[in-house]
Amino acid sequence: MTILLGFDGFPLKLQKELKEKSNDTFDTLVQVNINDLPKIKGWKPRIETATGIKLTGFVEPHTDPYTGCGAYKDYRSLFWLLSDTTKDKSFLMVGNESERMLPYNWAFFDDSVLHSFMSNGTWIGLAIQYIR
């Protein structure tokens, strides 16, 4: 199991979309331009799975099924952190691995594996699934 960590600036239009629409329901779809998303070699983003999340605190450990159109068995998730008000450190945990997350960091990982996001602040992020 590996977490691929990267850093990219959010396009202004996507920032605005996330700030306006994100909430704590985990089912709020947001509009994204495929060209604005991080490129992961061999993987294609499924824009119909782009979800805006705004939450105070942590996301409990969970696994995710594929939520896009069609039946794909080989899928992963990209979590892209837009903002985080925590004064402490925030972490993405996947299986027995963890990575510190700062605003504009993204993490690509197998979301069928138990994972969670740990933060003490209010944060906004984008979750989107990729297929190959």
90 within a domain of the structure (yes/no): no
30 within a domain of the structure (yes/no): yes
34 within a domain of the structure (yes/no): yes
42 within a domain of the structure (yes/no): yes
Tell me how many domains the chain contains: 1
pLDDT recorded at residue 73 = 79
> What pLDDT digit, counting tens, does each position of 116-125 carry?
999 999 999 9
CA atoms within 13 A on the CB side of 91: 12
User: Which domain, by its residues, includes 28?
Assistant: 24-51+60-70
75 within a domain of the structure (yes/no): no
The pLDDT of 83-102, averaged and rounded, is: 96
Structure tokens at 122: 């209010």
7 within a domain of the structure (yes/no): no
Query: Is this prediction's pTM over 0.85?
Result: yes
29 within a domain of the structure (yes/no): yes
Number of residues that make up the chain = 132
Q: With beta carbons less than 8 A apart as the criterion, state whether 55 and 118 touch.
A: no
37 within a domain of the structure (yes/no): yes
d(CA 3, CA 76): 11
